[in-house]
């Protein structure tokens, strides 16, 4: 139906299932071969989502209020996804021109680190450092993306991954052993929030170069990467080493 509407046609569609020779349902790799063999056009649902996130405003700002913190006075903005109902928040401080590079942190939800102060990761340290940097600059944005727990696998699977890490797996191996990519996060909704807040160019607070590629893929410009230097401890040394060696993070 999305494809029909994007084509300017009546929103209707037909779904069918393509079976493999053994009677099981064909998955994307099988369908790519099938499409090539018969000269068919093919996209994935992920392609469709990415396209719509780039070209449509799918988030609505529902509310704004002041939020005094120990780092200074921020404003908190509550957003809702028009289709899924998913809720997100962003913090802002100060004002900026549309073409001005703005200090930005796009922070993935981490219940264990951000709330319970877990030492297994450096998430809380990054969150607080980002808020301090924004407060010091007097302006900036922190987008807190919910649904990114465990780099996108959810809190239950994250705890399962912790259990595997207790047995010697690193953070990437644990996710992959559970059947997930090492990093499943998607940043389109964060981009939409940034656009709504008037951000077009960013000085991005991150150690993750993949995040730069992801955000620029949606049309934002990252003019500078500002590292977040969080001292390691005995509990997260292996975690940080895996992020550096396997996920390309810069420390």
8 and 127 assigned to the same domain: no
65 and 119 assigned to the same domain: yes
Supply the residues annotated as catalytic. Answer: 183, 185
pLDDT attached to residue 98: 84
80 and 138 assigned to the same domain: yes
How many domains, in total, are found in the chain? 2
**In sequence order, which residues have a C-beta less than 8 Å from that of residue 232 and are 6 or more positions away?**
122, 240
32 and 130 assigned to the same domain: no
21 and 91 assigned to the same domain: no
| Residue 51 forms part of a structural domain | no
| Residue 115 forms part of a structural domain | yes
- Predicted confidence (pLDDT) per residue in 173-229, tens digit: 999 999 999 998 988 899 999 999 999 999 999 999 989 988 887 778 999 999 999
126 and 34 assigned to the same domain: no
- Predicted confidence (pLDDT) per residue in 115-148, tens digit: 999 999 999 999 999 999 999 999 999 999 999 9
Question: Per-residue DSSP letters for 173-238?
Answer: HHHHHTTS-S-----HHHHHHHHHTT--EEEEE-S-HHHHHHHHTTT-EEEEEE-------TTTHH
Q: What is the domain extent for residue 80?
A: 57-148+185-247
Confidence band (pLDDT; 50, 70, 90) for 90?
very high
| Residue 215 forms part of a structural domain | yes
- Predicted confidence (pLDDT) per residue in 33-78, tens digit: 999 999 999 998 878 877 877 778 889 999 999 999 999 999 999 9
19 and 128 assigned to the same domain: no
CB 126, CB 166: distance < 8 Å: no
73 and 6 assigned to the same domain: no
Average pLDDT, the chain: 93
pLDDT attached to residue 47: 82
CATH number of the structural domain spanning residue 61: 3.40.50.10990
pLDDT attached to residue 51: 82
What Cα–Cα distance (Å) separates residue 172 from each residue in 9, 63, 79, 193? Answer: 44, 37, 31, 29
192 and 232 assigned to the same domain: yes
97 and 136 assigned to the same domain: yes
| Residue 160 forms part of a structural domain | no
């Amino acid at each position: 139906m999305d494809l029909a509407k994007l084509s300017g046609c009546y929103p209707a569609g037909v779904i069918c299932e393509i079976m493999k020779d053994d009677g099981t349902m064909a998955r994307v790799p099988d369908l790519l071969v099938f499409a090539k063999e018969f000269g068919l056009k093919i996209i994935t649902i992920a392609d469709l989502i990415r396209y719509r996130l780039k070209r449509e405003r799918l988030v609505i700002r529902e509310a704004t209020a002041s939020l005094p913190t120990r780092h200074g006075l921020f404003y908190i903005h509550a957003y809702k996804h028009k289709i899924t109902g998913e809720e997100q928040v962003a913090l802002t401080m100060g004002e900026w021109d549309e073409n001005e590079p703005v200090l930005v942190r796009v922070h993935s939800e981490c219940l264990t680190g951000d709330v319970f102060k877990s030492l297994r990761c450096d998430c809380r340290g990054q969150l607080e450092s980002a808020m301090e940097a924004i407060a010091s600059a007097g302006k900036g944005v922190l987008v807190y993306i919910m649904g990114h727990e465990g780099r996108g696998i959810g809190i239950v699977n994250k705890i399962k991954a912790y259990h595997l890490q207790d047995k010697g797996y690193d953070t990437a191996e644990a996710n992959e052993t559970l059947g997930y990519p090492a990093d499943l996060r998607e940043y389109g909704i964060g981009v939409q929030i940034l656009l709504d807040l008037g951000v077009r160019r960013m000085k991005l607070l991150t150690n993750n170069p993949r995040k730069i590629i992801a955000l620029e893929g949606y049309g934002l410009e990252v003019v500078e990467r500002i590292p977040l230097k969080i001292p390691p401890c005995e509990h997260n040394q292996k975690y940080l080493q895996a992020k550096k060696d396997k996920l390309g993070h810069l420390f």
